[in-house]
Amino acid sequence: MKAVQLTAVGQPLELREVETPTAPATDQVVVQVAGCGVCHTDIGFWNDGVPTKKPFPLTLGHEISGTVVEAGGDYADLVGTEVIIPAVIPCGSCDLCREGRTNVCRAQLMPGNDIDGGFADRILVPGRGLCPVEDRGGYGLAQLSVVADAVTTPYQAVVRSGLMANDLAIVVGVGGVGSYCAQIAAAFGAHVIAIDVDDARLAAVAPHGPGLTVNSATTDFKTLRTQVRDFAKTSGSPEHSWKIFECSGHPKGQETAYGLLTYASTLMVVGFTLAKTEIRLSNAMAFDATIQGTWGCKPELYPPALELVTAERITLGPFIETFPLSTGPDVIARVADHKITKRAILIPD
């Protein structure tokens, strides 16, 4: 079968012929890939020096939907089932899993990192934690691949923030993840502000939840903060307890998000970067604020996140674009160069 593989950091990605996975162990399944989204984490593994667990060559891709075509004895009943594969698959039995922190299980398997990923025709994964797709909601199965990360990662962040109706939700960075974060927050009944440095991204997300969009590249921070306060007042949200979601994965975005802390506010760190930023940590003390990281998403949160999509409470269409797997190396390079602005999904030819 064909797969897009990383053979060395910084080297061109290759479409290679690799062995087709078969004969799963009793707790494994083989999934025929319908689609696999291109995430900036893939770019990080390829070009930015983010370390992978599995040695090269490595098939990238962790945002996967498909159909179970083979299964070991424990999951034989899943054959023929359409599924979304969690971007991080927990073991289910360690201390962290028993404590309900399955998304940070130390024995977790992340496709395209710990094991070969979904930029391929088929993938071999554990059967545990798969999210059955019982209703596509008008989408193709390949399009639903973005639920595996771009939708569920911000969904977990919103849930863990304690966001409620009439709260103020501020989403910093409305790219591949933040565009869904803004929609999810709106679906929870919050008043949403979207902040980005790209007018096109702000225009794309504006009809889908945010009541205010602000370009932080052309707005000085003092003015931006005033606009946020004015919006909170006019929308009827509290002037405190803001929920801030940093989705840009960029130092400037992190500085903006941190600078918006106020009394009893919560900052959820969703985006990732290897770059450092400088902040005055005592602001968190002075505001009695909460700063929390959020990694991936627990498998048990996948069904309600998927339901938001299939019930049309959030939309995927304007934010995704599909490409043949055979063009994968070129597509991933174009995503890295910001020449593809929507979430690219690779579909086996």
Domains of the chain in sequence order: 2-148+297-347 (3.90.180.10), 152-293 (3.40.50.720)
Cis peptide before 57 (omega within 30 of 0): yes
When pLDDT is cut at 50, 70 and 90, the band that residue 145 belongs to is: very high
Contact 212, 231 (CB under 8 A): yes
Angle between helices 178-187 and 152-161 (to 10 degrees): 50
Within 115-175, residue ranges assigned H as helices are 152-161
More confident residue, 40 or 167: 167
User: What pLDDT shows up at residue 159?
Assistant: 98
| Contact partners, residue 152, CB within 8 Å, separation at least 6 | 86, 87, 296, 297, 301, 302, 305
Q: What is the mean pLDDT of residues 113-133?
A: 97
Q: Is the sign of the CA dihedral 53, 55, 56, 62 positive or negative? A: negative
User: What pLDDT shows up at residue 23?
Assistant: 83
The Cβ of residue 240 has, within 10 Å, a number of other Cβ atoms equal to 14
When pLDDT is cut at 50, 70 and 90, the band that residue 68 belongs to is: very high
User: Does residue 48 carry a pLDDT above 90?
Assistant: no
| Contact partners, residue 280, CB within 8 Å, separation at least 6 | none
Please write the tens of the pLDDT for every residue from 184-200.
999 999 999 999 999 99
User: What pLDDT shows up at residue 300?
Assistant: 95
Q: What is the mean pLDDT of residues 291-316?
A: 96
User: Does residue 93 carry a pLDDT above 90?
Assistant: yes
When pLDDT is cut at 50, 70 and 90, the band that residue 49 belongs to is: confident
CB-based burial of residue 343 (10 Å sphere; 0-12 exposed, 13-18 middle, 19+ buried)?
buried
DSSP strand pairing (266-269 vs 28-37): unpaired
User: What pLDDT shows up at residue 109?
Assistant: 96
Q: How high is the mean pLDDT of the chain?
A: 96
The tokens for 346 are 């690779």
User: Does residue 306 carry a pLDDT above 90?
Assistant: yes
User: What pLDDT shows up at residue 331?
Assistant: 97
Please write the tens of the pLDDT for every residue from 230-288.
999 999 999 999 999 999 999 999 999 999 999 999 999 999 988 999 999 999 999 99
User: What pLDDT shows up at residue 22?
Assistant: 87
The residue type found at 250 is H
CA triple 304-114-126, angle to 5 deg: 55
